[in-house]
Chains A and B, each alone.
Chain A
Amino acid sequence: MRTLPALRTSPTAKHVDRLMRGVLWIIALGFIAVLLIFVGAILKQGWPVLNLGFLTKMPETLDAGGGIKPQIFNSLYLVVLSLGLSLPVGLGAGIYMAEYAGKGRALQFFRLCIETLAATPSIVLALFGMIAFVQTMGWSFSIRSGALTLALLNLPVITRVTEVSLQSVPRELKEACYGLGATKLQTILKVALPYAATGILTGLVLTAGRAFGESAILVFTAGTNTSGQFPDFRLTVPGETLSVHLWSVTSDGTLPDAREIAAGTAAVMILILLILNLLVRFLDRAIRRRTR
């Protein structure tokens, strides 16, 4: 009689398994450590500068003691404006790609365009925005030039995220909806988009964060000055943001307290991003509870 070989998990497989667990754990830990050191250093330097005056005063051009009030406003204003421009277009394009476009060459080409736009270095977008909006349209360094160029940066990400999120909607749910006599649009609006909402929201936050921190584009389109008024909702005035301010104070060298202002500005940016992320996490959980 033949004896069948015994099947035992080899000791090596178990060792490798344990080893990999350790390695992955160390990678995760290293990741957190780098982040903590980085954020810690920024907050440590910025903390002494952070006070109500710094947050609520207008900036100085030559003297020490200026604040960053209009830059905070401009940063948030530009994020909102650029998202307001790119969200409807990006959502529409994403819905089209996921639900309407055939699988043919047109879609491949469309996707290639979007991926190319997504991979375009921001300095290229910056120079494009300067030529197109600042010079050709004659809008000079202004909020509208900045918002439009920034929208180009956001657009591919929002489109892609919308497409991917919609593709992740289970087929059974869509079939259930169609099976009840729903039209395509009803299925998209009532089943697909609500299900995809958390994914789209997460993408939106990443986009907002990127737009918030973007500097190259805004140096060339929104400029390195503020209008001197607060709050200034006009689209035609220059609108220096926090990250542009961070760059301009350190590279100009006219302010005696440039180092402190840069440290404070960086700290404020990190804190705003932190708040933004927490807010979205909260929103995400609220939506998930309602739609999953």
Chain B
Amino acid sequence: MLSPNTPETKPIKLSVKDLAFCYGEKRVLDGLTLDIHAERVTAIIGPSGCGKSTFLKCFNRIHEVSSAVKVTGDMLIDGVDIYRGGIDVVDLRRRVGMVFQKPNPFPKSIYENVAFGPRLFGVNDRASLDLLVEDALRKAALWDEVKDRLKESATGMSGGQQQRLCIARALAVNPEVLLMDEPCSALDPIATSKIEELILELKKTLTIVIVTHNMQQAARVSEYTAFFWLGKLVEMGLTERIFTTPRERMTEDYITGRFG
């Protein structure tokens, strides 16, 4: 874990300045400013309805698919504005992968789930797909469990396996950022610890932002923690500091379970 005494060496990957977000008339996020470093895990904590998931979805603009939303402020990836920088939203979503709260594999075979992304980008020959599928499944620590049943339906796997398959599916398009929206909330403790190990492995090459309700999980996997309350950022800093010497009373109360 990064300690307050060692300087941060990783560059800023995502930068948010004065972000506000509205669903129709309803203001869900307001005045958010924070930076997220590359190859670090940043945990977002806060009570239900505080806008954590919405915030996460701003990074790949997935909320635009189903509802009319309004975003103001700046949100930069490698210094380029996600909303106004002339970025192609389809390309953005390739670069910023997402793992959802509930495992959502496609009703296809394990192999086809992972090959789905590469196929979208025109990779169709068997040899290349085989390589990409194996690589992604290995990175998601799933290869050994499924290598003999790649043709079987993904919907027959256990919840934990399905979630790791969804991670493999996201990894197969070679993203730079991985957004994880409470990825373990539907999983048992063993499956959860596997995902956590995986996160620690993946952060060597990826920027990870994870929303979680589990304080221990935030403490275990993240370098940075941001505490949200009612659509606002209360406090953000190194996880170690947030959990030992929070500056805000509200953060302390939430972390220690006095409210939330």
Q: Which residues of A approach B to under 8 Å, CB–CB? A: 170-183, 186, 190-191, 195, 291-292
Q: Write the chain B residue with the least CB distance to A178.
A: B65
A177→B90 CA distance, assembly (Å): 11
A175 surroundings in chain B (CB, below 8 A): 62, 65-66, 98, 100, 104
Assess whether B169 is in contact with A180, with CB atoms less than 8 Å apart: yes
B91 at the interface (CB under 8 A from A): yes
Assess whether B107 is in contact with A181, with CB atoms less than 8 Å apart: no
Q: Tell which of B93, B105, B107 touches A180, judged by Cβ atoms closer than 8 Å.
A: B93
**Shortest Cβ distance from residue B107 to the other chain A in the assembled complex, whole angstroms:** 5
Assess whether A181 is in contact with B62, with CB atoms less than 8 Å apart: no
B170 at the interface (CB under 8 A from A): yes
Assess whether A180 is in contact with B65, with CB atoms less than 8 Å apart: no
Q: Write the chain A residue with the least CB distance to B99.
A: A179
Which residue, B62, B107, B155, has most C-beta atoms of chain A within 10 A? Answer: B107
A125→B116 CA distance, assembly (Å): 45
Assess whether B104 is in contact with A181, with CB atoms less than 8 Å apart: no
B155 surroundings in chain A (CB, below 8 A): 292
Interface size on B, residues (CB 8 A): 28
A172→B98 CA distance, assembly (Å): 12
A174→B67 CA distance, assembly (Å): 13
Assess whether A180 is in contact with B104, with CB atoms less than 8 Å apart: no
Assess whether B106 is in contact with A180, with CB atoms less than 8 Å apart: no
**Shortest Cβ distance from residue A286 to the other chain B in the assembled complex, whole angstroms:** 14
Known: A176-B106, A180-B97, A292-B155. 4 other contacts (CB 8 A): A175-B62, A176-B169, A181-B93, A181-B173
Q: Write the chain B residue with the least CB distance to A195.
A: B107
Query: Are A292 and B65 also in contact (CB < 8 A) when A181-B93, A181-B117 are?
Result: no
User: Tally of A-B residue pairs with Cβ under 8 A?
Assistant: 65
Q: Tell which of A172, A190, A195, A291 touches B100, judged by Cβ atoms closer than 8 Å.
A: A172
Assess whether A173 is in contact with B106, with CB atoms less than 8 Å apart: yes
B213 at the interface (CB under 8 A from A): no
A173→B65 CA distance, assembly (Å): 12
B166 at the interface (CB under 8 A from A): yes
B95 surroundings in chain A (CB, below 8 A): 181
Say whether chain A's binding surface is mostly helix, strand, loop, or mixed: helix
A291→B107 CA distance, assembly (Å): 5
Which residue, A175, A178, A179, A195, has most C-beta atoms of chain B within 10 A? Answer: A179
Within 8 A of A (CB), among B138-184: 155, 166, 169-170, 173
Q: Write the chain A residue with the least CB distance to B102.
A: A172
**Shortest Cβ distance from residue B259 to the other chain A in the assembled complex, whole angstroms:** 29
Assess whether A176 is in contact with B100, with CB atoms less than 8 Å apart: yes
Q: Tell which of A170, A174, A186, A195 touches B65, judged by Cβ atoms closer than 8 Å.
A: A174
A173→B91 CA distance, assembly (Å): 19
A66→B152 CA distance, assembly (Å): 55
B32-70 Cβ-contact flags toward A at 8 Å (1 or 0): 000000000000000000000000000010100110000
A–B complex contacts, Cβ < 8 Å, 25 sampled? A173-B104, A173-B106, A175-B62, A175-B98, A175-B100, A176-B104, A176-B106, A177-B106, A177-B116, A178-B62, A179-B60, A179-B93, A179-B100, A180-B94, A180-B97, A180-B120, A180-B169, A181-B91, A181-B92, A181-B93, A183-B90, A195-B107, A291-B107, A291-B108, A292-B107
Query: Are A178 and B107 also in contact (CB < 8 A) when A171-B66, A186-B120, A292-B155 are?
Result: no
Query: Are A190 and B90 also in contact (CB < 8 A) when A174-B65, A176-B166, A178-B65 are?
Result: no
A291→B155 CA distance, assembly (Å): 10
Assess whether B65 is in contact with A181, with CB atoms less than 8 Å apart: no
**Shortest Cβ distance from residue A28 to the other chain B in the assembled complex, whole angstroms:** 31
**Shortest Cβ distance from residue A284 to the other chain B in the assembled complex, whole angstroms:** 15
Which residue, A173, A177, A191, has most C-beta atoms of chain B within 10 A? Answer: A177
Q: Write the chain A residue with the least CB distance to B63.
A: A175
Assess whether A182 is in contact with B120, with CB atoms less than 8 Å apart: yes
**Shortest Cβ distance from residue B202 to the other chain A in the assembled complex, whole angstroms:** 16
The list of the 4 closest CB pairs from A to B, nearest first, reads A181-B94, A172-B104, A180-B117, A179-B98
Query: Are A181 and B166 also in contact (CB < 8 A) when A172-B102, A195-B107 are?
Result: no
Assess whether A182 is in contact with B100, with CB atoms less than 8 Å apart: no
B100 surroundings in chain A (CB, below 8 A): 172, 175-176, 179
**Shortest Cβ distance from residue A174 to the other chain B in the assembled complex, whole angstroms:** 7
**Shortest Cβ distance from residue A129 to the other chain B in the assembled complex, whole angstroms:** 41
